[in-house]
């Protein structure tokens, strides 16, 4: 039985080789996950591999083959033009009892996608523009103040607050004004959550 199991694993790890898709060196059973967990940043490692192996290559998440794609034209072809041929999506939160666009697949996922699609229509996005512009104006004022003072500052903090302001205004109708209220409890809790999340 053990030999048969090892044989099946070996066959799984031939997925990319059989399709002539480049892949970085990997560890048996762990795939590339050990390497990804060891580095400070997932996406930096993926960028490094992209430079080495090209815009389309494969990695193994454990024993599951996963394509890493950095080619916008290819993604447009798969997700838009060939959508009917690629309707299924991998479940991000497998085993979760919550049913939403991230945790569903097949017909359920298509139904969720059909419901939320109108939210991102050109007309709806145009309606959000004033809300987004207001958030941008706030951050530009803060950056102008720093420009006048000629002091060094961490711009990432301001972009982080602006991102949260945009989400709160557009999705929840709440004006958090984090540029002038950086100690907002909601913002602090979100930062806490992401600090514990998988390192991107």
Is residue 193 predicted with pLDDT exceeding 80? no
Query: Do 63 and 125 have their domain in common?
Result: no
Q: Do the domain assignments include residue 166? A: yes
Question: Which residue from 145, 167, 168 is spatially nearest to 155, judged by alpha carbons?
Answer: 145
Is residue 158 predicted with pLDDT exceeding 80? yes
Q: Do the domain assignments include residue 36? A: yes
Provide the pLDDT confidence category of residue 12 given band limits of 50, 70 and 90: confident
How much is the average pLDDT of 171-190? 86
72-79: long-range pairs with CB below 8 Å, 24+: none
Is residue 93 predicted with pLDDT exceeding 60? no
Q: Domain range for residue 177?
A: 121-196
Q: Do the domain assignments include residue 94? A: no
Contact 179, 169 (CB under 8 A): no
The per-residue pLDDT for 186 is: 84
Q: Do the domain assignments include residue 27? A: yes
The per-residue pLDDT for 95 is: 59
Q: Do the domain assignments include residue 28? A: yes
Q: Do the domain assignments include residue 185? A: yes
Report the chain's mean pLDDT, rounded to a whole number.
84
Q: Do the domain assignments include residue 181? A: yes
pLDDT tens readout for residues 23-58:
999 888 888 888 888 888 788 899 999 999 999 999
The per-residue pLDDT for 92 is: 58
What DSSP state is assigned to residue 30? T
The per-residue pLDDT for 199 is: 47
Max avg pLDDT among 39-43, 44-48, 108-112, 119-123:
44-48
Whole-prediction pTM: 0.57
Max avg pLDDT among 25-29, 83-87, 165-169, 185-189:
165-169
| 179/182 Cα distance (integer angstroms) | 6
Question: Percentage of the chain with pLDDT > 90?
Answer: 26
- Count of domains for the chain: 2
pLDDT tens readout for residues 42-51:
888 999 999 9
From residue 139, alpha-carbon distances to 49, 73, 156, 162, 164 in Å are 35, 33, 11, 7, 12
The per-residue pLDDT for 7 is: 79
Give 150 or 95, the one with higher predicted confidence.
Answer: 150
From residue 174, alpha-carbon distances to 40, 167, 186 in Å are 34, 9, 11
How much is the average pLDDT of 72-93? 77
The per-residue pLDDT for 137 is: 93
Q: Do the domain assignments include residue 137? A: yes
Query: Do 125 and 183 have their domain in common?
Result: yes
């Amino acid at each position: 039985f053990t030999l048969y199991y090892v044989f099946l694993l070996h066959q799984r790890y031939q997925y990319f080789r059989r399709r002539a898709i480049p892949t970085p060196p990997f560890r048996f059973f762990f795939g590339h996950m050990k390497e990804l967990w060891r580095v400070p940043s997932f996406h930096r490692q993926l960028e490094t591999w992209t430079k080495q192996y090209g815009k389309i290559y494969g990695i193994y998440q454990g024993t599951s083959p996963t394509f890493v794609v950095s080619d916008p034209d290819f993604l447009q072809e798969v997700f838009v033009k060939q959508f009917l041929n690629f309707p299924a999506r991998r479940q991000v939160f497998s085993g979760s009892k919550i049913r939403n666009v991230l945790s569903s697949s097949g017909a359920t996922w298509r139904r969720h996608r059909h419901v939320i699609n109108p939210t991102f229509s050109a007309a709806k996005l145009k309606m959000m523009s004033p809300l987004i512009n207001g958030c941008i104006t706030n951050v530009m004022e803060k950056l102008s103040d720093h420009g006048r003072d000629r002091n060094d500052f961490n711009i990432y903090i301001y972009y982080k607050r602006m991102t949260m302001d945009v989400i709160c205004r557009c999705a929840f109708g709440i004006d958090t004004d984090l540029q002038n209220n950086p100690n907002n409890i909601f913002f602090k809790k979100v930062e806490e959550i992401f600090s514990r999340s998988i390192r991107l």
